[in-house]
Structure 1
């Protein structure tokens, strides 16, 4: 049974010196107990129970189970600590055999040996702690457990001596897919310093080093004679480690060649198992990765994957089929990245995007309709007004109206956004040189700007609402649905007689009734013309007033059709 301490934290805390915290009393385990950790039952638990610690001011108390050495005078540097049940609130808790064995193993206590430790509970309330500890004896597992993960740390490593930054190994699979006891990592090691292996990246991790030329728990620190990028391979089945030079690798194959011969393209090591290079791919064809100018350390593509790679010599041990890597895309400059960090073992190719040069003229060529010349402003081109685009149609960009000039395309779709219902929706898409249809994500009335300085096409559209109110602060903002082309509708809106109304996209669009002499707008008409306040001159003699077309409470349908320049439009209000 779990017992909880029910305390309510007070709003106005007393100064720390004005309250007391009584110590808990450990009920189990008892002083002198002997616990034999059985390796075959690693998840078996050692259960703890204690009486409550009481804060005299009623503040909350939390608990941790701790294990410290038998010579420890306090609990500041525990071998193991865990919160009690119920996230530290309960008077019970437990630790597993495996947790305790690993903690003792990290202290270099030999497998199968018996050791005395202190165990107990620490109660905490605000800045104060009290504890109750007893001494027990523990017999460790008979055999050391092979770690399930491995890290490299030390002053000779890329990550330094901070264990929190230790670099993870990859645990290699076997041919049947299970985990082997072999680990490897690709990393640079320095002659200035030493390194060790850890079973986790915390301060309480068990470490492995050299003992009589074998990798053993609590072994000595390791050094290298030359600074290089190494593949460090640790085999716990036989207690060995291997350092193989991987300072130089190259892409070797047809793509970098302008003839039928295979040629090499050298990589530069970037750190933490990552290599990269930039090179010109002149033709399609096969390639592989290898140690520069040799037939050693050959990497090939893992069949059945998109871009995984493996040392060819390891394919049988890991049960995979391999083939040459293949390049079949457009020729040009590519950045090739090889990632041999623990979670990757991949190769990627990214084409260098050459920013297109702005032409003297640019035309918007829709799949349906006539070409439209865009307005040039420096190295930017914009449509003269909004254009209604549909997802079912496409368009192209060309420096000539007949499409015989330079084509430009996009790496993405116009109108692609996670927030299509905003008032003023905008985005941009990368602009590249080349012919392809430009697609539309959603039907809308768009403004397009082609920006050659930043190699992007900027797009924008408005969503409209019908504002309906008698009290502005309590106004209704009724969203209108866009319909192709340039049409915004509301179906079944409850409207109130005498209320003011306008069609608004705050605050670039504000359609109402223009009072200029030449205007045909009518404040009370149920159908007619409307004008955008933001696009016309207003003064004391002419302004854009609110509509008052609703004279009877009821349910209405509203349709607003705008002109492409967004200056004028027509509307109808029907029941």
Structure 2
């Protein structure tokens, strides 16, 4: 009889302990919603081009066990209902503080996700959800902020030029890869004909696209071109959302010994100029035969102003190239219009021969370069 009583008491104690643990577990996850947002004020304006941060603060939620409450700040579009928010991130202190310090650069990224264009003004909604890691509470208070985005976009790893106005046509798979000239800038030397063109981050799938609007870079569109077929240098800067288009006129071979331009190099395609079978004769001097040369590009801006751009060697002076000369010798860099400095030298076999001279300014080469060959 006693044994039966002990078993019954043990069972009762186990049930009491189980119910107690269950109640403790429920209490450990119980937390109130955030009832009041403190800052920023509703409809506060923020210019995201400044080097600053937005500070978000709110009233504390309460946990049934008086323990730690976790907070997530949620953002949505102006007309969103937070059922599928744009962005969610924990508050400062890995979600344990009643404050979020958000750099404007990050807020700019959220604004981009909301479809607000660079240099555009738009609104975002924000609120705070409380939890104990589970049992996330509903949103009670919602505020709006008005943001002005700076110019510019995050720079892609690659940029392609495509469209009916381009040399490659409108097939994205054949798009022209632009030269990446810095972390945020790209350029292409190419011809345009009547049609339209735009830029794409990839040459397959459904990439993000951009277009030129005046001198600004915009997202999701294309630029119409209705002029004559001409050669252009197109530059794109993602850091500030600007573009430059310059017409490339005559590209000429400067022969320093005579102080004159020997010939134009006609444009072919894909950022390449070439003259074939051009006769080259060095100039006889008292000390030997002089063979120095470099190149001049005539460049015209959108206003019709024409300027000279000279390209020559990275070295102030050079020796004649030979079979062992490395590719860096042929690299072309901007230089001054000085008659002699930064000139290349023709190889010995070019003297009194017909030469093929080619300039290559495209993304197929590591550095803009040229070649001189004779048969």
Larger gyration radius, structure 1 or structure 2: 1
Instruction: Calculate the TM-score normalised by the size of structure 1.
Output: 0.33
Question: Using CA pairs below 8 Å that are at least 6 residues apart, which structure has the higher relative contact order?
Answer: 2
Instruction: Calculate the TM-score normalised by the size of structure 2.
Output: 0.46
